[in-house]
Amino acid sequence: MPLILAEHLTKTFDAAGHDGSPVTAVRDVDLSIDAGEFVAITGASGSGKSTILHMLGGITRPTSGRVMLEGVDLAKLDDDALALVRRRRIGFIFQRYNLLPELSLLENVALPLVFDGMKESACHKAAMEAIESVGLAPRASHRPDALSGGEQQRAAIARALVTSPAVVLADEPTGALDTVNSRHVIDLLSCLVKDRGQTVVLVTHDPATAAAAGRLIRVIDGRIASDTLVGDADERAAASPARTVVR
C-alpha cells in the first residue's frame, strides 16, 4: 500500500480569475508515493504545485478526487480529524512566514505537541531533540527574528519533524535562501530520507534542489507532465534516468 495515494485530484478556485471566472489550478492528477521516497515537484509558476501539496497535506480539500494517507481517505474526515492528521502525520515546511515571532525556537518547534496536549516536560524533550537534529541546539531559546533565514528554515524543519510524521511536505523551502543555506537545507532533507527513511515531498523551482530528490514530477498547467525516477542521488551523474514515464 502506498503511503500517499491521490486519485483524480482536481481543484477549482471559484471566481479567482480577473474576470471572476473560476480557475482550475489542478486537473485530474493521479499520484502514488511510497514510504521512504524523496519526491520533488517542479513546474512553472502558477502551474499548481503548491495546490497539489496543500491537498496532499489536508490544508485544502480537492474539488473532486481523493487523497488517501496511510490508507485513510482524507475526504471522509471532518475538520477536527483532519487537524489531527496534520498535527500528527504531516510535517509542513514553507518558504517563509511560518514561525511565530513571539515564541522562541524551542517553543515554535514544540507547537504541534502543545496542540496535542502533551505534557510540558515531554514537549520540551522532544522539541530539543528535533532542534539538535538540525544543529540549532545553541539557539533554542532565541526568537526567530534573531536568526538568519537559513537557521529559521532549519527550525521549521525541526518543527516538521518533531511529531515523527509519516510525510514531510515542503513548499519551496529554499526559495528565500542563498546557495549556501539552500545547500544546507537540502542536505538536511536528504539525510532524513537516507538515514531515517523519512518520506519527503518537496516543491521547488530550483533544478539543483530538485536534483537531490529520487523522483521528479513536472507539473504543467495543473497536470502531471512527467514523473521520473532518478535513482540514487549519488549515481545520478553517471546513470541515465532509470525509469521515465511520460504521459
Partner 1 sequence: MNRLGLLVRQWRNRPGRVIATVASVAVAVGAVVATWLSADASREGYRRLAESIEGVPSIDISPRETGRWDGSGVPKLIDIPGVRAVVPLVYKPALLRSEERRIREVAVGVDAGGLVDAGFLKLVAGRACEGPDEIVVSRTLADSLDKSIDDTLLFLSRRGGYRTMKITGIADTQSLSALSDGGGVVIDIEALGELTGVRGLIDRFRLVLRPGASRQAVLAAVNERLPETLHAIVPAGRASMAHDMLNAANLGLDFVTALTVAMAWFIVGNAMLMNVTERRRAFALQRVLGATSRQISRTLFFEAAAMGAVGAAVGAVGGILAAGPIAKGIGRAIRAPDFAISYNPWIVVGAVLIGPAVAVLAAWWPTRQAAKVDLLESLAHMAPPPENISWKLVTTAAVLWTLAVGILLAVVTGTLPPRSAVPAGIATTLAFIATTPVVLPLLARLLAGLVPRPWRIEGALALEQILRQPVRTALTTGVLVVAVSNGVGLGHAIRDNVDDVLAWYGKALKADWMLLQAGALGVSRETSPSAGSGLVEEVSSIEGVASVQPISIAIGSAGGVACVIVARDMPAKEQLPLEAVGMSDDDLRKIVDDGGLLAGTALAQRLKVKAGDEVTVSAFGRTIRAKVAALVVDYTAGGTSLFLSREAARKIFGIDSVDALLIESTPAAAAGLREPLQAVAKRHGLLLQSHADLHATMDRIINGIVGALWSILGLGFIVGSLGVANTVTMNVLEKRRTLGLLRAVGMTARQVTRLVVIESLLLGLSGCIIGILGGIASAWFIQLSSQPLLGHPVSMSFRPAVILSNLAAAIAITAIAAWLPARRAVRLDLLDSIAAE
Ligand X SMILES: Nc1ncnc2c1ncn2[C@@H]1O[C@H](COP(=O)(O)OP(=O)(O)OP(=O)(O)O)[C@@H](O)[C@H]1O
- State which of residues 7, 24, 115, 129 lies at the interface with partner 1 (CB under 8 A): 115
> What would the DSSP string read from start to end of 103-166?
S-HHHHHHHHHHHTT--HHHHHHHHHHHHHHTT-GGGTTS-GGGS-HHHHHHHHHHHHHTT--S
- State which of residues 42, 47, 50, 228 lies at the interface with Mg ion (CB under 5 A): 50
Helix or strand or coil: residue 198?
coil
Site for ligand X in 46-65 (CB under 6 A): 46-51
Helix or strand or coil: residue 200?
strand
CA distance 221 to 235: 31
Residue 44, number of CB atoms within 10 A of its CB = 12
Residue 43 interacts, among ligand X, partner 1, Mg ion, none and using kind-specific CB cut-offs from 5 to 8 Å, with: ligand X
Stretch that binds ligand X, among 39-47, 67-75, 105-113, 136-144 (CB under 6 A): 39-47
> Nearest Cα to 136, choosing from 164, 117, 161?
161
- State which of residues 3, 9, 110, 167 lies at the interface with partner 1 (CB under 8 A): 110
What's the closest the beta carbon of residue 214 comes to ligand X, in angstroms?
A: 21
What's the closest the beta carbon of residue 245 comes to partner 1, in angstroms?
A: 30
Residue whose C-alpha cell reads 504543467 in the numeric block? 220
By CB under 8 A, tell whether 50 contacts partner 1: yes
Site for ligand X in 16-35 (CB under 6 A): 16, 23, 25
**CA dihedral for 45, 47, 53, 58, sign (positive or negative):** positive
By CB under 8 A, tell whether 54 contacts partner 1: yes
Contacts with partner 1 by CB under 8 A lie at 50, 54, 59-60, 79-80, 83-84, 86-88, 92, 94, 97-98, 100-103, 107, 110-112, 114-116, 120, 123, 145, 159, 163, 171
Contacts with ligand X by CB under 6 A lie at 13, 16, 23, 25, 43, 45-51
